[in-house]
Amino acid sequence: MLDIKFLRENPDVVKENIKKKFQDQKLPLVDEVIDLDSKLREARLKGDTLRAERNSKSSEIGILMKNKEVDKANEIKARVVDINKELEIIEKDEFSLTEEIRKRMLIIPNIIDASVPIGKDDTENVEIEKFGEPVVPSFEVPYHADIMDRFNGLDKDSAGRTSGNGFYFLCGDIARIHSAMISYARDFMIEKGFTYCIPPFMIRSDVVNGVMSFAEMEAMMYKIEGEDLFLIGTSEHSMIGRYKGQLVKEEELPVRLTGYSPCFRKEVGAHGIEERGIYRVHQFEKQEMIVLCKPEESMEWYNKMWSYTVELFRNLDIPVRTLECCSGDLADLKVKSCDIEAWSPRQQKYFEVGSCSTLGDAQARRLGIRAKGKDGNYLVHTLNNTVFATPRGLIAFLENNVTEDGSVKIPKALQPYMGGVEKITPKK
């Protein structure tokens, strides 16, 4: 959410930013906010004037009563009654105007960074850099569900009976690799100086509205019936929400957390849920990282964070690339974002396995997260990045480490989490 003062003083900048995001339908919101803000400030000024008059009249009544000038005192009391009635109307107007402004401000997109490429959607994202050689082996790499099936490692039929489409059972060695990768990602981030935490897996609506847009919430999150609670789509939401309404000491910045959680997503949209494999599902697990920092340090942390994910995947012998998200592909709260994509030797193309974003002070403004500095309080900047998410990360691992005989190599980084084995062998 933008600062109302910034919008008031820079309406053309805000409108140009809306155009860059190809959301022209939101252009009228800027003028609407300016008009409502003018009415609100007028109402507040009138209210302050009336309150000052009421305070003055109240003091005058005391003096008149002391001097036994009862008639004059009663006249002034009548005026105070009128003032209170006027104030009641004005305060209702102030509340209504404030809500109308906030409703619009919540859907006006954040100002994107000058370095963000302009484009309508993800088809216009820009490749930044490749890490590792994308190898196409001499043998045909099986579909990931078929690799898992050889190890008796995937059961979607039973999950369909227990939970429906979009769920799965992982079993045996495949389940063990899945857990090993999450554990490795946890320890990897601890070594980078992040504090490990396991957050709540449900959050209240005021936190949801603080960390994401309403459109995202509708498309992603499951609501708990009869409760003001939502299942999280990522642990970032809980970890940022932890600081809601808090004043953080500047010397405690940057706050660095890495959190594990199961994640739940509706996956509403044209892509749908995958019938056979587990690339797009309703439930998955993820190791996430977040940073709360000083505004001047946010871009430095942004570059550190995505580089950590690249390093982790390379340690698992998985080639990756980074992709700069264009303006039209950025969620409304994001200032800048890049995707980390893993190489698929089966498809001979890259696919998304993580995303790194800086949101400036947008989340902090919504949630009231400030730092106490020597020159006063200020809004912190918030960033988030996927360390490792599975099953997508698991798919990338299996495709890049499967051998011609069907066995799967275990990279050195993962062997301590797999009982020291160097490969796993198919059951069938």
Does any domain span residue 112? no
Least confident interval from 24-33, 160-169, 179-188, 336-345: 160-169
Q: Mean pLDDT, to the nearest integer, of 25-41?
A: 97
For the entire predicted model, the pTM comes to 0.89
Mean of the per-residue pLDDT values of the chain: 93
Query: Is 90 exceeded by the pLDDT of residue 347?
Result: yes
pLDDT tier, 271 (very low <50, low <70, confident <90, very high otherwise): low
Based on the fold, state whether residues 274 and 400 are members of the same structural domain. yes
Based on the fold, state whether residues 367 and 269 are members of the same structural domain. yes
Based on the fold, state whether residues 375 and 419 are members of the same structural domain. yes
Q: Mean pLDDT, to the nearest integer, of 308-324?
A: 97
pLDDT tier, 362 (very low <50, low <70, confident <90, very high otherwise): very high
Does any domain span residue 111? no
> What is the count of structural domains for the chain?
2
pLDDT tier, 132 (very low <50, low <70, confident <90, very high otherwise): very high
Based on the fold, state whether residues 226 and 192 are members of the same structural domain. yes
Based on the fold, state whether residues 169 and 40 are members of the same structural domain. no
Does any domain span residue 117? no
Based on the fold, state whether residues 11 and 159 are members of the same structural domain. no
Q: Mean pLDDT, to the nearest integer, of 304-332?
A: 97
Does any domain span residue 195? yes
Cα–Cα distance measured from residue 10 to residue 367, given in angstroms and rounded to the nearest whole number: 23
Cα–Cα distance measured from residue 93 to residue 105, given in angstroms and rounded to the nearest whole number: 18
Does any domain span residue 143? yes
Query: Is 60 exceeded by the pLDDT of residue 269?
Result: no
Based on the fold, state whether residues 323 and 407 are members of the same structural domain. yes
CATH number reported for the structural domain that contains residue 49 in this entry: 1.10.287.40
Write out the two tokens for 264.
Answer: 């739940």
Of 74, 105, 136, which residue is a domain's last? 105
Predicted local distance difference test score (pLDDT) of residue 73: 84
Phi and psi of 54, rounded to 5°? -60, -45
Does any domain span residue 110? no
Model pLDDT for residues 208-238, shown as the tens digit of each residue:
999 987 777 777 899 999 999 999 999 999 9
Least confident interval from 13-27, 216-230, 266-280: 266-280
Based on the fold, state whether residues 266 and 169 are members of the same structural domain. yes
For 72-90, the DSSP string reads HHHHHHHHHHHHHHHHHHH
Based on the fold, state whether residues 317 and 258 are members of the same structural domain. yes
Does any domain span residue 114? no
User: Beta strands of 185-282 (E only): which ranges?
Assistant: 195-197, 202-203, 222-223, 230-231, 247-249, 255-264
Of 70, 105, 140, which residue is a domain's last? 105
Based on the fold, state whether residues 360 and 417 are members of the same structural domain. yes
CATH number reported for the structural domain that contains residue 180 in this entry: 3.30.930.10
Based on the fold, state whether residues 263 and 391 are members of the same structural domain. yes
135: exposed, middle or buried (Cβ count in 10 Å: 0-12, 13-18, 19+): exposed
Does any domain span residue 113? no
The range of the structural domain enclosing residue 245 comes to 122-424
Based on the fold, state whether residues 184 and 93 are members of the same structural domain. no
Fill in the DSSP letter of residue 402. Answer: B
